[in-house]
Amino acid sequence: MRKPPAWRGPVLVLVALAAIFAVAPRLYSNESVLFTMMTFMALAQGLNLLYGFTGYLPFGYVGFFGTGAYATSLLVTFTSLPVIAAVLLGGLAAVVVGLILGPLFRLSGPYFSIANLAASQIIYNVVANEALKPITGGPYGIKIEHVYAPTASYVTMLAILLAATALAAYFRRSRFGLGLRAMHQDPISASLAGVDIVRERLIAWLASAAIAGLAGGAYAWNLSVFYPEAVFTLQISVFAIVFALFGGVGTVIGPLLGAALLYAFYAGIGVSAPQYFELLYGLLIVLLVLFLPNGLASLLTRRKVDVL
């Protein structure tokens, strides 16, 4: 009754994001920092799709990222597909991995997280295995310099970030999202209300996987020379989790805000003293869990502000 059109908030956020990252390279020339910031914003948002809306924390989220990065690079290496198609297929590869890992949902929260972490380590150890050197390059990394295109990959990553954000807005505002929220609170009651929790959860999981896979593909394109460690390091999961938690999971702007602020902070100061950041992030997690489990966004929701 008192509501403006439901699409207005999401559209404003998307337009703002696009505008900011379209203009930013003119103001600040280390595009690699901007690119990485977008990567982490997309990852935090992608992780939010699962964790924020279902409560399942994908500790091995980096596994999808690495899968996307390698699938894209291998397609570029062994086929003549256009890179952008390879990036899309990188997202698809992550979805396939997500489907294979679907049975993990038989496990309750923390065991799901640990098993997911184990799964990501398996993917990493397979991709980085000496025995697969002829295919993946093994521990020696992979090179796709011949398609190196900083601007195109930058735009692609921006598109992925926008897609992730649009998905989060959909989850937040739609009937589908209502079902997810209900499931998050009480899966049995949600089922009794008629919510197909298995299907809803799987869709959220695959959407989350797809975002990480796409981001991995675009990241690989931007780096163009990388070692398996660079796209499979647990630090990527850690950053995505901390950023999303800090901003506030279950919202649309929370993960964006968290990732932008903390990564800017990291890029500004942290690169020269990373261990301070590990300490700070650790402390931040402890404080958030104890005092602000719903992140920055909850400072607003507590005041009854309707945060998107």
Partner 1 sequence: MSSEPLLRLENVGKRFGGMTVLHEQSFSLAPGEILGLVGPNGSGKTTTINVISGVHPADEGRVLFEGREIQGLPIFRIARLGINRSFQVPKCFRGMRVRENVEVAATFARRGAADIEAILAETGLASHADDIAGSLTVNQQKMLDLARALATNPRLLLVDEIGAGLNPAELGGIATLLKGLAARGIALIVVEHLLDFLNRVTDRVIVLGAGRMLFEGSLAAASKDPDVVAAFIGG
Partner 2 sequence: MALLEYALIGGILYGIFFSLVGIGLNLIFGVMRIINLAHGQFIMLGGFGAYLLARGLGLNPLFGIPLAIAGGIVIGYPLYYGVVPRLQKSQDPEMLSFILFFGIAQMIEAVAVFAFGADQRSLPQDALGSGNIGVLGQEFPDSWWVACLVSVLAILGLYLYFSRTRLGFATRAIMADRDEARATGIDVDRVSAIALIIGIALAGIAGVFVPYLIGSVSSSIGDGLTTTSFAIIIIGSLGNPLGTVVGGLVFGIGTMLMQTYYSSWSNLAPYALLLAIVLVRPSGLLGKAVRRA
Partner 3 sequence: MRTHVKRAWTACAGALFASGLALSAGAPAHAATAPSEIKIGTLYASSGPFAVASEGQYHGLQYWAAGVNKTGGVFVKAFDKKIPVKIVAYDDQSSTATATTLYNQLITQDHVNILMADFGSVLTSVAIPLAAEHHMLLIDPTGSGANFFTKKTNYLADVSIPSSTVWPLPLAHFILAQKIKRVAIVYGSNDFDASQAETLKTTLEKGGVKPVYYHGVPTTESNYTVLLHTIAAHNPEAVIELGYAPNDIAFLHALAGSGLHFNMTFTIFPGQLLALMEKNVGAKTLAYTYTYPTPPLVAYPKTTLGPNTAAFVKEFTAAEKAAPNFLDAAGFNTGLIMQQMLATAPKFTQLDFHQALMDMSGKTTTLLGEFKINSHGAQMGELLPVAQLVPAGKGVTPVVVYPQDKATGKAIYPAPKK
User: What does the binding site for partner 3 look like in residue numbers (CB under 8 A)?
Assistant: 2-4, 8-9, 12-13, 16, 20, 24, 27-34, 36, 130, 138-141, 143, 145, 148, 150, 223-227, 229-230, 233, 235, 253, 256-257, 260-261, 264-265, 267-268, 271-275, 300, 305-308
Q: Whose structure tokens read 């290496």?
A: 77
Looking at 150-158, 174-182, 256-264, 265-273, which segment touches partner 1 (CB under 8 A)? 174-182
Quick one: 183 exposed, middle or buried, by C-beta within 10 A (0-12, 13-18, 19+)? buried
92 membership: H or E segment, kind and range: helix 83-100
Q: Kindly state the smallest distance separating residue 36's Cβ from partner 3, in Å.
A: 7
Q: Kindly state the smallest distance separating residue 190's Cβ from partner 1, in Å.
A: 7
Kindly report the length of the chain. Answer: 308
Q: Kindly state the smallest distance separating residue 62's Cβ from partner 1, in Å.
A: 29
* Chain center to CA of 29: 25
The SS3 assignment for 56 reads coil
* DSSP string across 115-162: HHHHHHHHHHHHHT-GGGHHHH-GGG-EE-GGG--HHHHHHHHHHHHH
Quote the CA–CA distance of 64 and 120 in Å, as a whole number. Answer: 8
C-beta neighbour count of 202 within 10 angstroms: 15
Q: Kindly state the smallest distance separating residue 291's Cβ from partner 3, in Å.
A: 21
Looking at 20-28, 107-115, 175-183, 238-246, which segment touches partner 1 (CB under 8 A)? 175-183
Work out whether 302 is an interface residue with partner 1 (CB under 8 A).
Answer: no
Indicate the residue among 105 and 227 with the shorter CB distance to partner 3: 227
Q: Which does 175 bind (CB under 5 to 8 A by kind): partner 2, partner 1, partner 3, none?
A: partner 1
- The correct pick among 32, 186, 229, 235 for binding partner 1 (CB under 8 A) is 186
Work out whether 173 is an interface residue with partner 1 (CB under 8 A).
Answer: no
Instruction: Spell out, one character per residue from 37 to 66, where the chain touches partner 2: x when CB under 8 A holds, - when not.
Output: ------------------x-x---------
Closest listed residue to residue 244, CA positions, set 29, 6, 43, 53: 43
Q: Kindly state the smallest distance separating residue 176's Cβ from partner 1, in Å.
A: 10
Q: Kindly state the smallest distance separating residue 190's Cβ from partner 3, in Å.
A: 26
226 membership: H or E segment, kind and range: strand 225-226
Closest listed residue to residue 277, CA positions, set 244, 239, 307: 239
Work out whether 125 is an interface residue with partner 2 (CB under 8 A).
Answer: yes
Site of interaction with partner 1 (CB under 8 A): 175, 178-179, 181-182, 185-186, 188-198
